[in-house]
Structure 1
């Protein structure tokens, strides 16, 4: 029996498979219109493919929809190391999933949080446009772009630039706790329950409880996903490289995101050949808060670039 989704639409689960890559088995899920353009959905921490449960119903009529659980989350396995959570490996995982889809045309991508961060690495690789037709990113910057932006704020030395640098540093202070080892793992083992996380999202993000979709594996996913922070923050943000993409990109920027300040995208034009920016009055978890907005924005951008060489 299919599991009901919002608006009474059925979950059209057409096919499931796994992708073996670098010591992990990634669980991949396909639904929607098999004759439509392919869109790949990539979640972040501490979510699974269920992040998109509210978005998918607005996509399935027009698109072949592919989602997956990233390494160490949900039904996907991992080796249990910090090194395997480096952005380069997660981008390799994403590209392996794209390859397994065997689409006739380059795929479109919709990603959130660390899902966006890893896709940024993929779209900035040479020849990325041959496999990726468009990229819609929510609340997940390239860590290299973030690092370059923070450097630019310090070198500018204007009050506005220094204020932007300071507010982003303050917004990112939580990552120090996440990278501190035993303490955050113990914290999330105790407090990372579905009830408490749902309560957090309802209070802080003002999300209707009916729009919050959490996996049974949430606590394990929280703990496992902490390795992403340890593997990437310092070595990338503090030592960034120039990373450019020719893949058409759309940014949905929540103006109330407590983790990623909107100003941090102010230099994005220098790293992208084509970028559309849409600011949204929302917190970090926009796919939960306004799934129809996410679906409509992604659909419009995909339609704009369908069939584009």
Structure 2
């Protein structure tokens, strides 16, 4: 992995040299990306390349990692105080006249919490985005609070985080971590990341991994025990903070951040259904959130908020809705827009799709656009999936609402009627699930698919006599959804079927269906069923 087009410089500080890379125009706001353990700055390459279109992006190898030199002796050379010295030296070199926006992952986040809570950095940092790395001071207070006021829930939280932190204990042992990283662990690490974290292969991590990891063990030894036992009493963030919490992080419990508002009053929370190495697995999502947050702070706002109740879950996520030109499709697109998602409105009617995208932007979507496609056209759907992935990344949530209705008895329905209806209602769903779902599976970081079925799909009613073709198509969609749910569960992809009655029925107005869709994704529900209104069931 390389930082294509990066400008490199060496910054001297505290007897070492730091390797610093820059992308983008220096006159733009500066975003500093700080890597974690056992990575080097190249872990940020995908995010850095995307941010460089809008910002002056700076990355550096933490002391003892990548192409930066290591302190001698190693013991005592990796304290948070010395890491802060390094950060200030880099900032003074790359942005002497303006504060910078910091984004930290893993140990990059741990040390960045120090940068934004000590007095000597005030005025040099404009904002901080934290990924998978708590402040050791906050962590220490979190532990102390649970020990002082124990409850069954708090005890479970302590035990749970203690189990997730197994590697910390190992890294404190003498010599063994160094031998492991320079031996079998270092050789197998890329394969382990790809298997368990779904990190794409290639030339990640850096060739310096064994040495980086051996040196980086001192990050833990020099800091963890001391800070957890005696945390600072005033570790308050003096800048706006954006916290991004991967819900699938194998090393850090989301509950670790329950009381963070105490220490970071200007806090924006985000959650992401992903694993620990989000800079490599979800660069598009991180880029969108960092861009939005930095732009807001540069514009004088300290938080990024939307009116939707699910903004922390879907803000910035890519949501594709087929049949979004009106009815349930439009209502669904707007529901995700209100939660701050990036919304792609797909419909065969260009004017209706464009209107939905316009409304989505007004409702709070972080981005919204329209695509004109007939979902029954397999080749057109293939081109749409390819175009979407190339321009916007892999879809996070796919909602298939596109469909056509057909009334009339079975004997009055022609073969051509059947073909036309099944092409849209069934094969449109098949094309969409196969193409976008395949991209989700290949990415390896999960996702969700929602297919719209009908209430009568699982419980035929008297009304079914007038809708045999429609009900048959929707029953097939329900069965397909249940099969897909079973098949894709191991890949972390949820599949839901939302069964509803006529769009204008009393119980199932489009807005209510849309809310059911959002909740189906949030709660990973398999099938959402509602009865038709009594006057419809008994017709």
TM over 0.5: yes
Say if 2:2 and 2:42, in contact at 8 Å, map to a contact too: no
Shift of 1:300: 0.6
Shift of 1:241: 1.6
Q: Which moved more, 1:30-39 or 1:248-257?
A: 30-39
Shift of 1:273: 2.8
Between Structure 1 and Structure 2, how many residues are aligned? Answer: 299
Distance in 2, Cα, partners of 1:101 & 1:175 = 33
Alignment of 1:37 with 2:14, yes or no, is no
Give the alignment partner of residue 78 of structure 1, picking from 63, 67, 70: 70
Distance in 2, Cα, partners of 1:91 & 1:281 = 31
Say if 2:197 and 2:276, in contact at 8 Å, map to a contact too: yes
Distance in 2, Cα, partners of 1:234 & 1:128 = 24
Distance in 1, Cα, partners of 2:168 & 2:293 = 32
Structural mapping, 1:60-209, within 5 Å: 60-80=52-72, 81-126=74-119, 128-193=121-186, 196-209=188-201
Distance in 2, Cα, partners of 1:19 & 1:34 = 17
Which is higher, the Rg of structure 1 or of structure 2?
2
Which residue number in structure 2 is paired with residue 8 of structure 1? none
Say if 1:247 and 1:273, in contact at 8 Å, map to a contact too: no
Shift of 1:250: 0.5
Which residue number in structure 2 is paired with residue 218 of structure 1? 209
Which residue number in structure 1 is paired with residue 265 of structure 2? 273
Shift of 1:69: 0.3
Cα gap change, 1:37/1:304 in structure 2, threshold over 3 Å: closer, same or farther? same
Say if 2:30 and 2:95, in contact at 8 Å, map to a contact too: no
Distance in 2, Cα, partners of 1:4 & 1:27 = 14
Which residue number in structure 1 is paired with residue 280 of structure 2? 288
Cα gap change, 1:4/1:78 in structure 2, threshold over 3 Å: closer, same or farther? closer
Give the TM-score normalised by structure 2. 0.54
Distance in 2, Cα, partners of 1:127 & 1:174 = 32
> Which consecutive residues of structure 1, in runs of 5 or more, have no partner in the other structure?
6-10
Shift of 1:185: 1.1
Say if 1:40 and 1:65, in contact at 8 Å, map to a contact too: yes
Which residue number in structure 1 is paired with residue 336 of structure 2? none
Give the TM-score normalised by structure 1. 0.92
> Which consecutive residues of structure 2, in runs of 5 or more, have no partner in the other structure?
302-539
Distance in 2, Cα, partners of 1:170 & 1:48 = 26
Shift of 1:254: 0.9
Which residue number in structure 2 is paired with residue 306 of structure 1? 298
Say if 1:38 and 1:65, in contact at 8 Å, map to a contact too: yes
Shift of 1:166: 1.1
Say if 1:106 and 1:129, in contact at 8 Å, map to a contact too: no
Say if 2:63 and 2:70, in contact at 8 Å, map to a contact too: yes
Instruction: Report runs of 4+ in structure 1 exceeding 4 Å deviation.
Output: none
Say if 2:43 and 2:204, in contact at 8 Å, map to a contact too: yes
What secondary structure is seen at the aligned counterpart in 1 of 2:183?
helix
Say if 1:246 and 1:273, in contact at 8 Å, map to a contact too: no
Say if 1:88 and 1:118, in contact at 8 Å, map to a contact too: no
Which residue number in structure 1 is paired with residue 315 of structure 2? none
Distance in 2, Cα, partners of 1:261 & 1:152 = 16
Which residue number in structure 1 is paired with residue 223 of structure 2? 232
Shift of 1:302: 0.2
